[in-house]
Amino acid sequence: VKSIIVGTAGHIDHGKTALVKALTGIDADRLEEEKRRGITIDLGFAHLELSGPGGEPLRFGFVDVPGHERFVRNMLAGVGGIDLVLLVIAADEGIKPQTREHFDICRLLSIQRGITVLTKSDLVDSDTLDVVRLEIGDFLRGSFLENSPIIPVSSLTGTGLEELKHELVLMADTTPSRNSAAITRLPIDRVFTMKGFGTVVTGTLIAGSIRKEDELELFPSHKRARVRGVQVHGTTADRASAGERTALNLAGVEKSELERGMVLASAGLLQTSPRIDVRLSLLPSAKPLKQGTRVHLHALTSEVIATIKLHDAKQLQPGTDAFAELNLSEALPLFPGDRFIIRQFSPVITIGGGVVLDAFPLKKVTKAARSEYLQDLASADPVKVLKARVARRGERGLSFQHAIAETGWREGIITSRLGSMKQEIVRAGDVLLTTAALKSLSSRITSAVRDFQKRNPLVHGIAPETLRESTDVDPRLFEFVVASLVGDKQLEMSNGHLHLPGRRVVMEDDEAESRSTIEQTFASAGLKVPALKDVVVGLKIDKARAQKIVTLLLRDKTLIKVSDDLVFHHSALASLRRQLQIQKAKSPKLDVASFKDLAGVSRKYAIPLLEYLDRERVTRRMGDERVIL
Ligand X SMILES: Nc1nc2c(ncn2[C@@H]2O[C@H](COP(=O)(O)OP(=O)(O)O)[C@@H](O)[C@H]2O)c(=O)[nH]1
Which DSSP helix (H) or strand (E) runs through 593?
A: helix 592-599
The β-bridge relationship of strands 209-211 and 239-241 is antiparallel
In terms of CB distance, is 34 or 406 closer to Mg ion?
34
Question: Least distance from C-beta 38 to ligand X, angstroms?
Answer: 6
> What are the Cα distances from residue 249, in Å, to 51, 129, 237, 300, 539?
30, 47, 12, 21, 87
Q: At what angle do helices 592-599 and 570-586 cross, to 10 degrees?
A: 120
Question: Least distance from C-beta 180 to ligand X, angstroms?
Answer: 32
CA angle 552, 558, 563 (to 5 degrees): 85
Question: Least distance from C-beta 157 to Mg ion, angstroms?
Answer: 19
Q: Which of 9, 13, 263, 618 binds ligand X (CB under 6 A)?
A: 13
The full length of the chain comes to: 629
Q: Does 11 bind Mg ion (CB under 5 A)?
A: no
In the 8-state DSSP scheme, what is residue 500? -
In the 8-state DSSP scheme, what is residue 347? S
Site map 25..64 versus Mg ion, x via CB under 5 A: ---------------x------------------------
In the 8-state DSSP scheme, what is residue 349? -
Question: Least distance from C-beta 49 to ligand X, angstroms?
Answer: 22
Binding-site size for Mg ion (CB under 5 A) equals 3
In terms of CB distance, is 99 or 302 closer to ligand X?
99
**How far is it, in rounded angstroms, from Cα 434 to Cα 221?**
36
> What are the Cα distances from residue 79, in Å, to 246, 493, 505?
15, 62, 73
Q: What is the dihedral of CA 109, 114, 118, 120, to 10 degrees?
A: -80
The β-bridge relationship of strands 190-194 and 198-204 is antiparallel
Q: Does 15 bind ligand X (CB under 6 A)?
A: yes
Question: Least distance from C-beta 352 to ligand X, angstroms?
Answer: 25
Q: Does 7 bind ligand X (CB under 6 A)?
A: no
Q: Which stretch binds ligand X (CB under 6 A): 5-13, 98-106, 203-211, 326-334?
A: 5-13
123 binds, among Mg ion, ligand X, none (CB under 5 to 8 A by kind): ligand X
In terms of CB distance, is 20 or 295 closer to ligand X?
20
**How far is it, in rounded angstroms, from Cα 438 to Cα 415?**
19
12 binds, among ligand X, Mg ion, none (CB under 5 to 8 A by kind): ligand X
Q: Which residues of 172-199 are buried (b: 16+ CB within 10 A; e: fewer)?
A: beebeebbbebbbbbbbbbbeeeeeeeb
Do the Cβ atoms of 255 and 193 come closer than 8 Å? Answer: yes
434 binds, among ligand X, Mg ion, none (CB under 5 to 8 A by kind): none
Q: Which of 4, 5, 18, 385 binds ligand X (CB under 6 A)?
A: 18
Q: What is the dihedral of CA 256, 257, 260, 263, to 10 degrees?
A: -160
In terms of CB distance, is 104 or 338 closer to ligand X?
104
Question: Least distance from C-beta 7 to Mg ion, angstroms?
Answer: 12
Question: Least distance from C-beta 40 to Mg ion, angstroms?
Answer: 3
Q: Which stretch binds Mg ion (CB under 5 A): 17-25, 86-94, 111-119, 293-301?
A: 17-25
Q: Which stretch binds ligand X (CB under 6 A): 9-17, 242-250, 336-344, 448-456?
A: 9-17
Do the Cβ atoms of 340 and 258 come closer than 8 Å? Answer: no
State the burial class of residue 127 (Cβ atoms within 10 Å of its Cβ: 0-12, 13-18, 19+).
Answer: exposed
Q: Does 17 bind Mg ion (CB under 5 A)?
A: yes
Instruction: Indicate the residue type of 556.
Output: D
Q: Does 41 bind ligand X (CB under 6 A)?
A: no
In terms of CB distance, is 74 or 154 closer to ligand X?
154
Number of neighbouring beta carbons within 10 Å of residue 446: 17
Binding-site size for ligand X (CB under 6 A) equals 18
In terms of CB distance, is 18 or 75 closer to ligand X?
18
Residues 142-171 contacting ligand X, CB under 6 A:
154-156
In terms of CB distance, is 103 or 452 closer to ligand X?
103
Q: Does 26 bind ligand X (CB under 6 A)?
A: no
Residues 103-142 contacting ligand X, CB under 6 A:
119-120, 122-123
In terms of CB distance, is 17 or 74 closer to Mg ion?
17
156 binds, among Mg ion, ligand X, none (CB under 5 to 8 A by kind): ligand X
Q: Which stretch binds ligand X (CB under 6 A): 15-23, 203-211, 305-313, 383-391?
A: 15-23
**How far is it, in rounded angstroms, from Cα 562 to Cα 570?**
11
> What are the Cα distances from residue 11, in Å, to 95, 135, 166, 411?
8, 16, 24, 44
Number of neighbouring beta carbons within 10 Å of residue 346: 5
State the burial class of residue 531 (Cβ atoms within 10 Å of its Cβ: 0-12, 13-18, 19+).
Answer: exposed
Do the Cβ atoms of 263 and 187 come closer than 8 Å? Answer: yes
In terms of CB distance, is 120 or 298 closer to ligand X?
120
Site map 51..80 versus ligand X, x via CB under 6 A: ----------------x-------------
Residue nearest Mg ion by beta-carbon distance: 40
Do the Cβ atoms of 588 and 627 come closer than 8 Å? Answer: yes
Residues near ligand X (CB under 6 A): 10, 12-18, 39-40, 67, 119-120, 122-123, 154-156
Residues near Mg ion (CB under 5 A): 16-17, 40
